[in-house]
Amino acid sequence: EPEVTQTPSHQVTQMGQEVILRCVPISNHLYFYWYRQILGQKVEFLVSFYNNEISEKSEIFDDQFSVERPDGSNFTLKIRSTKLEDSAMYFCASMGAFGNQPQHFGDGTRLSIL
Q: Least Å distance between CB 107 and other proteins?
A: 5
Residues that bind other proteins (CB under 8 A): 4, 30-31, 33, 35, 37, 42-45, 48, 50, 55-56, 89, 91, 93, 95, 97-100, 102-108, 110
User: Residue 14, CB half-sphere, CA atoms under 13 Å: how many?
Assistant: 2
Cβ proximity to other proteins, 16 vs 75, nearer residue: 75
* Phi-psi region at 25: left, alpha or beta (left = phi > 0; alpha = psi -120 to 50): beta
Q: How far apart are alpha carbons 45 and 59 in whole angstroms?
A: 9
Cβ proximity to other proteins, 72 vs 102, nearer residue: 102
Cβ proximity to other proteins, 9 vs 73, nearer residue: 9
Give 85-105 as a 3 state SS string: HHCEEEEEEEECCCCCCCCEE
Q: Least Å distance between CB 7 and other proteins?
A: 13
